[in-house]
Amino acid sequence: MVKRSYRTDKITVHWNSELCIHTAACLNALPQVFNVGEKPWIAIENAGADEIAHAVEKCPTGALTYERTDGAPDEEAPSQTTVIPWPNGPLMVRGNIAVRDARGNLFTAGPRFTLCRCGASQNQPFCDLSHRRIGFRNNPQVVSASRETAQSPQDISPTTGP
């Protein structure tokens, strides 16, 4: 696992390789900053803090996060928790999310995660693209779900399944 931080005097961007599934949302949002053909692949000096924050918030996995160091607000979790099943892939979860281990202990928390739904990920509970390798196909009748959240985080905890 690689964790890196990229800083300017206005914003710090954090990247966690363990959560990244290469959706290219960041590349498409701000290619002058996020470019996998360059080293380092994040050139944070190539755009303003607001543009960078907006691009980071497009990352569905939470692999990219940011902290504002210029007094502007950090990312806020959406007021409504949403769970969107990607066709034949993971669940995209947005909201005030707390991911807990099987004993109920906090594993991580954040506003965005992409969770495994095929059961084959080696990075449970997060997606690692194993659904592609195993040919996972979801039930086409599954639809997105949403629910109003309270001030406290929505908990996601593993359970035993089939």
The CA dihedral of 41, 46, 50, 54, to the nearest 10 degrees, is -40
When pLDDT is averaged across residues 6-18 and rounded to a whole number, the result is: 96
pLDDT of res. 101: 86
For 119-151, the pLDDT digits (tens) are: 999 999 999 999 999 999 987 665 444 445 444
For 75-111, the pLDDT digits (tens) are: 999 889 999 999 999 999 999 999 998 888 998 999 9
CA distance 73 to 77: 12
When pLDDT is averaged across residues 57-72 and rounded to a whole number, the result is: 96
Nearest to 139 by CA among 94, 85, 92: 85
Scanning the structure block, which residue is given the tokens 């707390």?
A: 98
pLDDT, averaged across the chain: 88
Could you give the angle at the alpha carbon of 40 between the alpha carbons of 111 and 18, nearest 5°? 40
pLDDT of res. 1: 73
CA distance 2 to 106: 21
pLDDT of res. 146: 46
Nearest to 1 by CA among 106, 155, 122, 130: 122
pLDDT of res. 162: 40
Domains for the chain: give ranges and CATH numbers: 3-68 (3.30.70.20), 80-156 (3.40.5.90)
Collect all residues with Cβ–Cβ distance below 8 Å to 135 and sequence separation of at least 6. none
pLDDT of res. 144: 45
